[in-house]
Amino acid sequence: MNTTILEVGDVSKVFHVKRAGIVDDLVAVDGVSFSIEQGRCLAIVGESGSGKSTIARMVAGLEKPTTGTIVVGGKPRGQLPWPRADRRTFARQVQMVFQDPNSSLNPSQTIEDSLLEVLRFHHPERDGSWRQKRISELLEQVGLHERHRAVRPRRLSGGEKQRAAISRALAAEPQLLILDEAVSALDVSVQALVLNLLTELRSRLGLTYLFISHDLGVVRQVSDDAIVMRQGVVVERGATQAILDDPEHEYTRALQDAVPRPGWKPARRAL
Amino acid sequence: MNDIRPLLEIQNLAITITVAREPRLLVRDVSLSVQAGQALGVVGESGSGKSLTAKAVMRLLPDRSQVGGRVLVDGRDVLSLARKDLARLRRREIAMIHQDPRSAMNPVRTIGDFLSEGVRDRPADERRQLAVDALAEVGIPDADRRFAQYPHQLSGGLLQRVMIAGVLMPGPRLILADEPTTALDVTTQSEVMAVLSDLQHRRGVGMVFITHDLDLAAAVTDNLGVMYAGSIVEIGPTASVQTAPLHPYTVALMTSRPSTTNVEPLKTIPGRPVAAYEVGAGCSFAPRCPFAQALCREEAPELQHIGDHKVACHRAKELAGHIEEKLEVLS
C-alpha cells in the first residue's frame, strides 16, 4: 500500500524583485518535481538561495507557485487564495514547523491554549473532555509534561519550545509535516534529543515528513530519500544513504566535503 | 609547560552581569593561555560563557558587569589598562571577528573606507596598497571594484573575508574569532576557515576560536577547551581532547552530532545547557550527567591533570574510555 501523500509536479516560482528601480525576475525554484509516499521522509538539501524553503512554503500554501501543480493526498491544492470552503481542509493536510519557535508560538498564549486553539479549529465536533485528553496525549508524545500546560513560551527553553511547536503541528493530525530547518537553531545536545524525537514520532505515528535542511548530518539522520538543490534546480536525487555515500554531482560532493568531522581540514577554493 | 610568556593569559576569570537588579554569575574561574602562533578553540553551547570570555579580553563587557581575575595580554593586565592603552590594544594588538560581518560593519561606508580605518595614520597611497595586499591575502583579487562597493553588495562569505582582511591590517598579534562562520553556508564556511587559519599560521599570531562546533574547532586549533555553564570542564591538546575525551559532556557533544557517514540513533544527554548562576552546589553538569553520584552533587570538581589534558570530573579516571558506550539514546 504505497499511498502517495505529496506530489509536486514541475513547480516553479519566480519572484519579481526591484533592484535599483529595475524590476528583475528572480527564479527561486525552476521546474522541480518530486513525490513522497505515506510514512516516508524526504529531505530537501541545499544552501541559502537554493529554493528549498520556497518549495516548503508553496507546499504549505504560504506562497503561490508561478507554474506547476501540488497534490496532497490525491487532492490538488487550488490556486491561492483558496476558496473559503477549502481552507480548513488544506490547512489541516499540511502542517509546518519552522526554524525559530519564537516566531511560531504566540508569546501571550499558554501551551494549553495554543493547543486548544488548533483542536477547536480542526475538530469542532469534539467535546471539551476529548480535547483535554488529546492535549495530554500530544504533550506526552513530544516529551513535555502536564506542568507545561499552563506555561507561556517565554518560560520554556529552546528545545522545549520546539517540542511545543511540533505538538501544535501534530494537533491538526496532518497528512504531511513540513520541518523547515526545524532543528537548526538548537544547541547540539538538544538538537539530538529533538532529532531522536522526530524519528520516534514518525515510526510510532506513521507520519510523513518533508524535511528541509542545509545540514547533511541531520538529513542523513532523519530522511529516507533526498533531493539536493542548487539555485532553484535539483542537481541530485535518490536514497539519502546512496547520495551521501556516493555523490554523483560535484556540488553534492562539495557539500559533503565541507562538513567538519574528525580529521577534516577546511579547503581554500579560488573565488 | 612552556616557559615563554604566553601572548594571552586568563587567570581565574569571573564575570557577573546584573540583569534586572539581580547579579548573575555567568563565567566562573576560567583560566587559559594562548602562545604566539598558536590557536586555542573554545567550544560550548549557548550560555556556556564562551563569548563573554572573549569579550572580557577586549574589555567589551557592558558597564553593569563585574569582572574578577586577571586577563594578561603579553604580560599587561587588560582589566586595569588606562583608556589610551586600552584603545591602542583594541586598535592595534587584538583583532576581533564577529559572527555577522554585516552588523559589525558600517552599512553606509564603502569596503575601501572600512579597510583603511585601522591604518588611518598612514598616507593615502600607502593605505590603499596595504588594503589591496590585505584583500589579496584573503583571496579577493579585484580590489579596485571591491573598494567602491558597500557591505550589502557582497555575499556573507565575501564580507567575512573583507572583515578578516580589515582586522588583520594593523598587524595584530592576537585574533579573537567568535563564531566567525556560523552565519555562513557550509561550503563558504570551509573557505573562510581555510583563509583564517592560513593567515593565522603565516602571520604567526595567536588565535582564540570560539564555536559551538567541536569538529570545526578541532580542524584549526592546537588546543581545545570545552566550556559548560561558565566554566572550562575539559582542556588540552586538540588531538587528545578530540580522540580521547574524558568529560561526559565532551563525549555527549560528539555523540549528539549526527554524522554524514552513518546513521545510528544519537546518544545524548537529557535536559538543556544551563548558565553558571543556575548551578547549585556540586558539579555544574551533574543534573544532566548519567554518571553523577552523591559526591558529584555535593562538591564541584576542580580541573585535574589526566594524561596530557585537564578535566573537571570526579569520575574521569574510572570512566576514561567507557563513557560513550554508557550514554543512552534519548528523545
Cβ neighbors of A132 (< 8 A, separation 6 or more) are: none
Using CB atoms within 10 Å of the CB of residue B138, give its burial: 0 to 12 exposed, 13 to 18 middle, 19+ buried.
Answer: buried
Whether residue B281 lies within 8 A of chain A, CB to CB, comes out as no
Q: Does B186 touch chain A (CB under 8 A)?
A: yes
Q: How much is the pLDDT for A1?
A: 58
Mutation target to probe the B interface, by most B beta carbons within 10 A, among A41, A183, A187, A222 is A187
Q: Is the pLDDT score of A271 beyond 60?
A: no
Q: Quick: pLDDT tens for B284-326.
A: 999 999 999 999 999 999 999 999 999 999 999 999 989 998 8
Q: How confident is residue B119, by pLDDT bands cut at 50, 70 and 90? A: confident
Please give the helix or strand (H or E) that residue B297 lies within, else none: helix B294-298
Q: Which sequence spans correspond to the domains of chain B?
A: 8-329
| Residue pLDDT, tens place only, B122-165 | 898 999 999 999 999 999 989 989 999 999 999 999 999 999 99
Domain spans of chain A, in order of start: 4-257
Q: What is the pTM of this model?
A: 0.91
For B167, the grid coordinates are 582586522
Select from B7, B76, B71, B5 the least CA-distant residue to B38. Answer: B7
Report pLDDT digits (tens) over B70-109: 999 999 999 999 999 999 999 899 999 998 899 989 999 9
CA distance linking residue B241 with residue A96, whole number of Å: 39
Q: What does the DSSP assignment read for A115-173? A: HHHHHHHH-TTS-HHHHHHHHHHHHHHTT--GGGTT--GGGS-HHHHHHHHHHHHHHT-
Please check whether residue A50 is in contact with residue A107, taking contact to mean a CB–CB distance below 8 angstroms: no
Q: Does B61 touch chain A (CB under 8 A)?
A: no
Instruction: From residue A111, give the alpha-carbon distance in Å to each of A133, A179, A222.
Output: 14, 20, 26
Q: How far apart are CA B248 and CA B231, in angstroms?
A: 15
Nearest CA in chain B to A193: B331
CB environment A153-164: b (16+ within 10 A), e (fewer): beebbbbbbbbb
By residue count, chain B amounts to 331
d(CA B24, CA A85): 54
CATH class of the domain at A4-257: alpha beta
The predicted-structure confidence for B165-184, as pLDDT tens digits, reads as follows 999 999 999 999 999 999 89
Q: How far is B46 from chain A (nearest CA, A)?
A: 7
**Class assignment of domain B8-329?**
alpha beta
CA distance B279 to B285: 8
